[in-house]
Structure 1
Amino acid sequence: MSGISFTGIGSGMPVQDLVSAFVEAERVPFQQRINKQGSKLTTNISANGSLKASLSSLADSLDKLKDAENYQLRKASGSDDFVKIESDKTAQVGSYDIKVNNLAQAHKVMSTPFDETLAVGEGKLTFSTPDDPTGFTLDISATDTLSDIRDKINESTDNEDVTATIITDSGGQQSLVMTSNNTGLDNKLSITATQSDGTTPLDPSSRLNDLLTYIDPASRSGDPLVESNLIETNAALDSSITIDGQITLTNATDTFENAIDGITLTAKKAQDVDDDNSKVSVSEDNALVAKELGAFVKSYNEYYKVAKELGQAGEAGGGPLAGDSMLRGITGKLRNMLSQSFDSGSGNTLSLAQLGVESDQYGVLSLDSTILNKVIAEDPSAVQQFFVGDDSTPGFAASTDTLIANYTESGGLIDSRINGYETQLDKLEDDMTAFNRKMENYEARLLSQYNAMDMLVANMNSTSSYLMGQLDNMPGVVKKTS
């Protein structure tokens, strides 16, 4: 805080030690007061942060309880190697017998082998399906090989229907393979070859015609694939299932959405004649409600433990929020929520106690799942109404969540209090900075004063020595001897 200072030359006094003692006498009480206030503010900030975190966890445990989509659920069972079953909450409870007749299949055709370097010939290729009758057309140049045609098919921006690849045999001969991008009869490929003008049929001797003579069946008799140079390796097939031995459904894909209300069936494998049919079922699923109510009970007990520790009274071991009005207020309001009855529909009400939630003499909650499951089984809609409510009358979960949000939301009651404490901390830091400057000036002033005094004493000592010397040398002055 100051420059170098030495023991007084004139007075012999420990000037630096004296000044430091005076400064510390001023500094210590102020520093102790600031530290005490700062420690209390920091403790309050931490305590309110712990309260907010505990309340936020409690609110999180209500998220699924306040969502109507989590009530009156259905559980689908019976998925096996042949069929997969899924259901939503609109499905009715029941069981079904499912037979998978065949899976959906994508159409695939292959050309007869060609030399890999041989140009196919000039013309146009048009691809279409029943689902996409317009399709797309490619211009084939006189020098295009099978590889060029493959690339043009795959790279066409108009192509959404087909993927092409090449298979090369051991003799170097290549076959062009074209596969529909989608399964089902509506995605069966139709491929037509014409001359460059797009209307005139190709000369029968054209190699392009040899590659793809796939004419509409209406224009000639017989199977066009048999009469052409394209080999059908996979026929286009719809998926087919039979429900309860009576109703047969077909679909372009293996997934049958809402084949039964609220149920999605996915065919996985066709059943042989020796295979048993798949047995699938839909039942009520109330496990989520019990699980989430149990999570809320656990979260509340954790909050209650934190609140007790923060608000513990007593000189020794007292909590940082002992006697705090906000802590007492939120805890009291939560207790009131726990005992309050809420509308359960049809003019009736329910309470947590009726759902199996009990409180012991210390305020700790527990859940009797047997009681809860019995109430849910008897009237699941009443349980939903109790927790969720509606726009005009919020239920327990929605009301409790709103209560907690008043304290935990950004800018809420706890944030406002913490911000106030942080402002006070900033003020203490400013006060300490100003006080340190004051002490620096005080120390410098004392050093200046003591050094000036020391110089004065030194001058007086020097004058005294001079006078004594002069007196000693004066005639007639007799020195006193010891």
Structure 2
Amino acid sequence: MAISFNGLGSGLAVSDIVDALVNAERTPFTSRLNRKEATLTTDISAAGALKSALEKLQTSMEALGEVDNYQKRSSSGSDDFVSLSSDKDAQPGGYNVKVDALAQAHKLSSPAFAADEPIGSGVITISSGDNSFSTVLSATNTLEDLRDQINNGPFTGSDSNDSVTATIVTTDAGQHLVLTSKETGEENAISITVQDGDGNNTDVGGLSRLAYDVSDADPANHVTNLSEVDAAQNAQITIDGTLTVTSNTNEFKSVIDGVDITAKKVHGTDDDNSTLKVTENNNNIKAGLNSFIESYNELLELSNNLGKSGESGAGVMAGDSMLRGVMSQLRQQLTSEVTLSDGSSLSLSKLGVEADRYGKLSLDTERLNEQVKADVDLVQEFFLGESDEGGFAQSFDELMSFYTDSDGIVQNRIDSKQTQLDGLDDERLDFARKMESLESRLYAQYNSMDLLVAQMNSTSSYVQAQLDNMPGVVKKSK
């Protein structure tokens, strides 16, 4: 803005005049842009609310489009003795289960050794399950040395210990090496063979004092220089009084189709056997429809508010073709029927989804239960289609995606309005520069005028003074 001394020559309020002229240009423009900005912001907010409601409705139908949610199985009967889990392969029915034994890890204990006593030289090989490893002892190694080598190595060749832990228990008699298998069950029983430096691999002298091998079918060939603290033991259950099942662990996977049983405690002679029950669970259908109905009714209420018109006022999207279009497509989708593989057809209304005269949905649970009980496979086919493709859920998702995708109808509307809104900022900047230019031009014009008036006033005063001083000029008396 040009610096000026306003009104010195003319006496006019130049600043006030310039401000008034600039504001006369600025006010209608600003008002127009503010109205346009408010309209665009409201449109974006309304379209965003509509998209969120449509996305929620789309999500509510997704659960009904997942095959894994159908015909689940519920198992009951978990107690102090067993725990249960089941999947959809389990067939409804009841079972009686008795826990005869729990799985147990194999534990062996050596004879007593003095703390600094050499245990003998040679090679000791320990096996448990599929794992076998060997370690070499020198003539000076103690029981503690052997413990450390079992737990940490070194081992011969590429051997590694994945199956046994070694500890030392010190009693009044001395130190005892205790070996425990990491896995339970008879298959993981510990076997120890020795190549003793004294040449006798099974006697009770030297390193062979730690030999333990009962793998031979003939008990006469067993070597038991270690004491068995806990026998390697399988878990065992009896189903329905006659069917016996064993397991290396306390878990019995799919011993009954689709049912996993975990043994926790052995049944005593006075304990009642555990009673297992498997039932079919189709609750996902009712839960899914209720969620869908709730989301649809929320969308309906939003649509009514956005599109309302009348004496009470008009909604933000009153008469909007996009709003009318999506609600019309939804109503058609809700009433559509799906032809099934047996030649019959199903629709939401046949599954108990009802609409009142205002379009609000509700669920007739009794009608739904009748359809599920009559043939749950056909109900599943209605939502998923044959081979889990082409059902109501998929067609509904495709319809919703047309509106809710990142390049869908609603988002395109939002993006278009946002582009227009962003353009208003550019208009404001351009107009601000225009007003600065106008203000500078007006100040220049008025300052020039003021200077000219000042010059004319100065000339007038000079001429008047000269005339007053001319001879023969008679001054008027005051």
| TM-score, normalised by the number of residues in structure 1 | 0.91
The answer for the alignment partner of 1:86 in structure 2 is 85
Q: 8 Å contact 2:216–2:222 — kept in the other structure?
A: no
The answer for the alignment partner of 1:373 in structure 2 is 369
The residue type paired with residue 108 of structure 1 is K
Q: Is 1:231 equivalent to 2:230 in the alignment?
A: no
- Provide the rounded CA distance (Å) in 2 between the counterparts of 1:5 and 1:142: 111
Change (3 A) 1:322 1:28: same
- Deviation per CA, 1:141-170: give whole Å up to 9, x if none: 55554444434333358222122333345x
- Provide the rounded CA distance (Å) in 2 between the counterparts of 1:460 and 1:172: 132
Q: 8 Å contact 1:343–1:395 — kept in the other structure?
A: no
SS of alignment partner, residue 64 of structure 1 = helix
| TM-score, normalised by the number of residues in structure 2 | 0.91
Q: 8 Å contact 1:254–1:266 — kept in the other structure?
A: yes
The residue type paired with residue 477 of structure 1 is V
* Equivalent position to 2:147, from 147, 150, 155: 150
SS of alignment partner, residue 326 of structure 2 = helix
Q: 8 Å contact 1:116–1:174 — kept in the other structure?
A: yes
Change (3 A) 1:304 1:116: farther
- Provide the rounded CA distance (Å) in 2 between the counterparts of 1:391 and 1:4: 83
SS of alignment partner, residue 62 of structure 1 = helix
The residue type paired with residue 12 of structure 2 is M
SS of alignment partner, residue 407 of structure 2 = coil
Q: 8 Å contact 1:237–1:252 — kept in the other structure?
A: yes
The residue type paired with residue 136 of structure 2 is D
SS of alignment partner, residue 345 of structure 1 = coil
Q: 8 Å contact 1:184–1:251 — kept in the other structure?
A: yes
- Provide the rounded CA distance (Å) in 2 between the counterparts of 1:159 and 1:74: 41
The answer for the alignment partner of 2:105 in structure 1 is 106
Change (3 A) 1:122 1:388: same
- Deviation per CA, 1:443-463: give whole Å up to 9, x if none: 111111111211221222222
Q: 8 Å contact 1:27–1:439 — kept in the other structure?
A: yes
The residue type paired with residue 269 of structure 2 is V
- Deviation per CA, 1:156-210: give whole Å up to 9, x if none: 58222122333345x695433322111111111112333589x98489643x443
SS of alignment partner, residue 61 of structure 1 = helix
- Provide the rounded CA distance (Å) in 2 between the counterparts of 1:324 and 1:253: 67
Once the two structures are TM-superposed, the CA of residue 66 in structure 1 deviates from its matched residue by 0.9
SS of alignment partner, residue 462 of structure 2 = helix
The residue type paired with residue 341 of structure 1 is E
Unaligned runs of 5+ in 2: 154-158
Q: Is 1:188 equivalent to 2:189 in the alignment?
A: yes
SS of alignment partner, residue 212 of structure 2 = coil
The answer for the alignment partner of 1:213 in structure 2 is 211
Q: 8 Å contact 2:6–2:447 — kept in the other structure?
A: no
Between 79-88 and 21-30, report the one with greater CA deviation.
79-88
- Deviation per CA, 1:209-244: give whole Å up to 9, x if none: 43x22245549955957x41x332221111101111
Between 323-332 and 107-116, report the one with greater CA deviation.
107-116
- Provide the rounded CA distance (Å) in 2 between the counterparts of 1:367 and 1:348: 22
How many residues are paired up? 473
- Provide the rounded CA distance (Å) in 2 between the counterparts of 1:435 and 1:345: 68
Change (3 A) 1:215 1:340: closer
* Equivalent position to 2:162, from 145, 155, 160: 160
* Equivalent position to 2:133, from 118, 122, 136: 136
The answer for the alignment partner of 1:127 in structure 2 is 126
Once the two structures are TM-superposed, the CA of residue 14 in structure 1 deviates from its matched residue by 1.4
Change (3 A) 1:468 1:363: same
Once the two structures are TM-superposed, the CA of residue 471 in structure 1 deviates from its matched residue by 2.1
The answer for the alignment partner of 2:451 in structure 1 is 455
- Provide the rounded CA distance (Å) in 2 between the counterparts of 1:369 and 1:115: 78
- Provide the rounded CA distance (Å) in 1 between the counterparts of 2:313 and 2:18: 41
SS of alignment partner, residue 322 of structure 1 = coil
The residue type paired with residue 175 of structure 1 is H
Identity score, percent? 48
Q: Is 1:250 equivalent to 2:246 in the alignment?
A: yes
The answer for the alignment partner of 1:72 in structure 2 is 71
- Provide the rounded CA distance (Å) in 2 between the counterparts of 1:90 and 1:371: 27
The answer for the alignment partner of 1:479 in structure 2 is 475
- Provide the rounded CA distance (Å) in 1 between the counterparts of 2:458 and 2:138: 121
Change (3 A) 1:434 1:200: farther
* Equivalent position to 2:460, from 457, 460, 464: 464
- Provide the rounded CA distance (Å) in 2 between the counterparts of 1:221 and 1:463: 144
- Provide the rounded CA distance (Å) in 2 between the counterparts of 1:262 and 1:126: 41
Between 412-421 and 240-249, report the one with greater CA deviation.
412-421
